[in-house]
Amino acid sequence: MTEGKTVIDDIKKDAQSRMKKSLEALHQNFNKIRTGRAHSSILDAVTVDYYGAQVPLNQVASINVEDARTLAVVPWEQQMVPKIEKAIMTSDLGLNPASAGNVIRVPMPMLTEETRKGYIKQARQEAEHARVAVRNVRRDANGDLKSLLKEKEITEDEQHQGEEAIQKLTDSIIAEIDKALESKEHDLMQV
């Protein structure tokens, strides 16, 4: 029955890979939620018109954290300054950049209690979407195990062991999601 074992291992590896992608997507979504502190990843979603093509901001400028509340964006080409300023302003991040020569400073506004609560609500929604995605992967993997049992490629014991392994994996990824959410909430609540 080693053939059944390798098939089960393949299902587990596929499930683990898909669950980790859900976790990575959650981290990317969390980076888009602005905290009061400056960090360069907040501008990851901003794209700039560069000779007719929309490219990520970090491909046309360097982004540095100047201090706890300010980002400094230094374009590699001087003529990109107004385009970068406009792109940051029109992004839905609520930031107001100011250029001084070839350096664009992006101050992080203080978060009000109301905006903090809104961002926490958004973070919780993102975490719940990630949990649902992980549970869907678990459901798919368990479905694959059931169909293997139905086709008599694995035994009931192997199916049961496979489902237990998938459940352990699910629990560990959901724990990581909860930990990431707790960390994001902590960041958002810091004044």
CATH superfamily placement of domain 1-34+112-190: Ribosome-recycling factor (1.10.132.20)
pLDDT of residue 165: 92
The tokens 């053939």 sit on which residue? 3
The rounded mean pLDDT for the chain is 85
> Taking a C-beta distance cutoff of 8 angstroms, is the pair 173, 23 a contact?
yes
Predicted pLDDT at 34: 66
Tell me the one-letter amino acid at 181: L
Q: Over range 18-47, report the average pLDDT.
A: 80
Just give the CATH number of 40-107. 3.30.1360.40
The domains of the chain are located at 1-34+112-190, 40-107
Q: What is the pLDDT of residues 50-108, one digit of tens each?
A: 888 888 888 888 888 888 778 888 888 888 888 888 888 887 777 788 888 888 888 88
- Per-residue pLDDT band at 36 (split at 50, 70, 90): low
**Residue 26 to residue 90: CA distance in whole angstroms:** 24
Token pair of 75 as six digits: 């374009």
Between residues 36 and 146, which one has the greater pLDDT? 146
**Number of neighbouring beta carbons within 10 Å of residue 117:** 13
Residue 58: closest CA among 70, 83, 40? 40
What is the pLDDT averaged over residues 30-56?
78
Cα–Cα distance for residue pair 180/166, rounded to 1 Å: 21
